[in-house]
Structure 1
Amino acid sequence: MHVIVLGAGLLGVTSAWFLRQQGHDVTVIDRQASPAAETSFANGGQVSVSHAEPWANPGAPAKLLKWLGREDAPLLFRLRADPAQWRWGLEFLRQCTPGRTRHNILQIVRLGTYSRATLQQLRQEIGLQYEQRTQGILHFYTSAAEFEAAVAPAEQMRALGCERRLVSADEAVAIEPALRHIRPQLAGATYTAEDESGDAHRFVQELAKRCAAAGVQFRMSHTVTALRQAGGQIDHVEATDAEGRFQRLKADAYVLAMGSLSPRLAAPLGIRLPIYPAKGYSVTMPVKDAAMAHQVSLTDDEYKLVFSRLGDRLRIAGTAELNGYDRDLNRVRCEAIVRRVEEVFPGAGDTTQAQFWTGLRPATPSNVPIIGRSKLANLFMNTGHGTLGWTHACGSGKSIARIVSGLRPEVAFSFAA
């Protein structure tokens, strides 16, 4: 069967790889000139099953009220005359109940655990190198209230098989000595030894090469303009190439993996995807003082930041701004990230060479991605992964390949019908 995958980011390329492994002819289409050039380009670098507590949780409404009007708020709703944003926001609030939070954590942990194992197996089988580190992920807390709030979710994750254990401030410094500077402020931490980190952009680039060598066709610099249906299924894709020439592309099945652009293509088909772009920021800087720089991947839950070591670079990413499809860099938010880095690891990175980046994460209100068959017989979804695209990429890609092939996925997850 010929399958067209729409999107060449983490989700698109992993889908293409596993579809090819199932024996399908695969074509990947993307508007960029190379794979992983948008949201997968400079993300936080974490493969973090332990990052399973969704933004929508019982404590979120109070935090949002506290952060209103703050340009440097970790989660910033920039209210617009945008019905999609308001619908998303109302559904977000609905997801903040304890029961829904527990259900969403269950889905996120199951998929994350499966995906991490799938990534490890893939890496071993084909020898991928992407500056990966397997030293675990440490969540640290400089607020006693934030640490207390993390106890119950961590307990639920442990019950689900994600070993996110509570550790003392002293243990945290023993795991990551670079935290010694803020030892007096540490209220506690959690540690998941099985979690990983690595350069997602490099991973996609390397996997795309393997895909091409296995026979996957890549049509880069092709902008998808519409999906056309006939008789209850997709008939063809319309696109323009780099020279603006019209293209009509046909296949037997189609996988929509275009991140925050997915709702725009699905809406004319009568499919409303509850996805809204959440603009995330990252800062990448060279290591300046190796003695002060972290080695273990870290999460600062209070500031909604993650820290990863990518060779001789530091990658710090996080925060979320809901402001439509705007990708402008907000200097206040950039400076807030650098300021926090300097508070925690003073002098570790060369801030004079800091590179700033934004990407539009495809966020669902629940943080649970949309994976599975749509109401159109030959259209499949692999989108809406929010902050966990890197964590869930391999598991989602393998699962959608099995679904397209008429096989049962290997993980207990609420796949779309």
Structure 2
Amino acid sequence: MKIAVLGSGILGTSSAWWLRQAGHDVVVLDRAAGPAQETSLANGGQISVSYAEPWANPQAPLKLLRWMLRDDAPLLFRPQADWRQWQWGLAFLRECLPSRLAPNIRALVSMAEYSRGILRQMRAALDIDYDQLSRGILNIYRDPAQFEASQRAAGMMREFGVDRRAISADEAVRIEPALAAYRHRLVGADYTPEDESGDVHRFTVALAERAADAGVEFLFSTQATRLHTEGGRVSGVEFIGADGRYGLLKADAYVAAAGSFTPALVRPLGVSCPVYPAKGYSATFPVLDPDAAPSVSLTDSGNKVVISRLGDRLRMAGTAEFAGYSRALNPARCQMLAQLAGELFPGALDIGRAAYWSGLRPATPSNVPLIGRTRVPNLYLNTGHGTLGWTMGVGSGKALADIVDGRRPEPEFPFIGL
């Protein structure tokens, strides 16, 4: 079949790769000038199976109320005159019910573990270097009550087969000596040795190059504007090309992997796509002293910030801001990342040369992504991964390709349309 993939982030590019490996004729459209230029450009870099937890949990509503007036809050909901935000928010509250937590975690862990395994296979087979490190993820805690509460989540992860273990503050510093200057603030940590980190942008660009060599066509600077239908099926995708002219691309099947912008494409067709942007921030610091900068990927649970070493750079990323589609940088959030970097790793980083970034992470109310066939027979979704797009990206692409070919994917996951 000829298949059009809309989007060239980690989800779109991995979908294109696996569809081509299955023998399909694949063309990818993206409004950016190259692959992975938006949400996959500068995220936190973690492959974090151990923290594949939904934002929606029984404690979340009260936390959101406490954080509403804080510009630097880890999770911030800014009400907009947008019915889609309110609809999403109500669905989020439903997912906070205690009965929803375990099924959502089970789905996320299943896809995350599957995807990590697929990533390791691809890394070996394709010889892709993306500043990857396989040294685990260390989650640090300052507050004794928060550390104690975290062990309930860790226990649930262990029930699902994830080796997330509680350790002392001294053990945390032994695993990551760069935390020594901050030891007096730590009360404990979680450690998962199987987790990884790496630069999703570097990986996606390299995968797009391999895909192009294998015959995938990429149309960059090409904005998909509308899906045409005929006889209950998608008959073509209307686009504005690099030359500014309208065109119509016809294919046998279509994969919508355009992140937070997917709903605008599929809702006119009556396809439900409960995805709303959660703006995340990152700061990338040049490393001045390699020995004083961490090489184990870290999670600062209290600030909802992840930290990954990417060669001679250190990436700090996190927070979630539900405030519409603006990517404008909030100075308070940028300052929070810079201040935290200086506190954790004094003298290790060039704080003054930080590169700040924001991206619109496509989030579903449950954090469980939408992967599979829609009510329109030849239209498929691969979106809604929130903060776990890198963690679940390549596995989601392979699962989507299996669904297109009529096969049940390997992971136990609530695929749509199956």
TM-score range, shorter chain: over 0.9
1:47 aligns with 47
Please tell me the residue identity of whatever aligns with 1:20.
Answer: R
Distance 1:131 1:52 in 2: 22
Question: Does residue 1:182 correspond to 2:186, yes or no?
Answer: no
Q: TM-score, normalised by structure 1?
A: 0.99
Q: Is the 2:68–2:78 contact (alpha carbons within 8 Å) kept by the matching residues of 1?
A: no
Please tell me the residue identity of whatever aligns with 2:29.
Answer: I
Distance 2:229 2:295 in 1: 50
SS where residue 50 of structure 1 aligns?
helix
2:327 aligns with 327
1:65 positional shift: 1.6
2:346 aligns with 346
1:102 positional shift: 1.1
1:176 positional shift: 0.6
1:309 positional shift: 0.2
1:81 positional shift: 1.2
1:295 positional shift: 0.7
Q: Which residues of structure 1 form unaligned runs of 5+?
A: none
1:121 aligns with 121
Distance 1:103 1:172 in 2: 31
1:352 positional shift: 1.0
1:216 aligns with 216
Q: Which residues of structure 2 form unaligned runs of 5+?
A: none
2:22 aligns with 22
Greater CA drift, 11-20 or 148-157: 148-157
Greater CA drift, 193-202 or 284-293: 284-293
Distance 2:347 2:154 in 1: 32
Aligned ranges 1:143-162 → 2 under 5 Å: 143-162=143-162
Q: Is the 2:341–2:351 contact (alpha carbons within 8 Å) kept by the matching residues of 1?
A: no
1:275 aligns with 275
**Which deviations, in whole Å up to 9, do the C-alpha atoms of 1:371-414 show, x marking residues without a partner?**
00000000000000000000000110000000001111011100
SS where residue 280 of structure 1 aligns?
strand
Distance 1:16 1:145 in 2: 45
Question: Does residue 1:286 correspond to 2:293, yes or no?
Answer: no
1:97 positional shift: 2.0
Please tell me the residue identity of whatever aligns with 2:83.
Answer: P
SS where residue 391 of structure 1 aligns?
helix
Distance 1:210 1:291 in 2: 35
SS where residue 154 of structure 1 aligns?
helix
1:186 positional shift: 1.1
Please tell me the residue identity of whatever aligns with 1:191.
Answer: Y
Distance 1:377 1:136 in 2: 41
**Which deviations, in whole Å up to 9, do the C-alpha atoms of 1:63-88 show, x marking residues without a partner?**
11211211111111111111111111
1:55 positional shift: 0.9
1:23 positional shift: 0.7
2:96 aligns with 96
Distance 2:91 2:165 in 1: 31
1:236 positional shift: 0.4
Aligned ranges 1:3-402 → 2 under 5 Å: 3-402=3-402
Distance 1:197 1:242 in 2: 34
Distance 2:91 2:345 in 1: 37
Q: Percent identity?
A: 57
Distance 2:126 2:333 in 1: 39
Distance 1:42 1:7 in 2: 17
1:254 positional shift: 0.6
**Which deviations, in whole Å up to 9, do the C-alpha atoms of 1:66-122 show, x marking residues without a partner?**
112111111111111111111111111111122211111100000000000000011
1:347 positional shift: 2.0
Root-mean-square deviation over aligned CA pairs: 0.9
Distance 1:388 1:331 in 2: 25
SS where residue 50 of structure 2 aligns?
coil
Please tell me the residue identity of whatever aligns with 1:137.
Answer: I
Please tell me the residue identity of whatever aligns with 1:54.
Answer: P
1:289 positional shift: 2.2
Distance 2:33 2:70 in 1: 36
1:292 positional shift: 2.1
Distance 1:405 1:250 in 2: 19
1:155 positional shift: 1.2
Distance 1:197 1:313 in 2: 13
SS where residue 210 of structure 1 aligns?
helix
1:162 positional shift: 1.4
Distance 1:176 1:66 in 2: 33
Q: Is the 2:289–2:348 contact (alpha carbons within 8 Å) kept by the matching residues of 1?
A: yes
1:290 positional shift: 2.2
Please tell me the residue identity of whatever aligns with 2:52.
Answer: A
1:344 positional shift: 1.5
Distance 1:191 1:106 in 2: 20
Distance 1:103 1:388 in 2: 17
Please tell me the residue identity of whatever aligns with 2:350.
Answer: D
**Which deviations, in whole Å up to 9, do the C-alpha atoms of 1:293-339 show, x marking residues without a partner?**
11100111110100000000000000011111001011111001111
Please tell me the residue identity of whatever aligns with 1:294.
Answer: P
Greater CA drift, 244-253 or 290-299: 290-299
Distance 1:66 1:344 in 2: 26
Distance 1:379 1:228 in 2: 11
**Which deviations, in whole Å up to 9, do the C-alpha atoms of 1:234-278 show, x marking residues without a partner?**
110000012211110011111110000001111111112111001
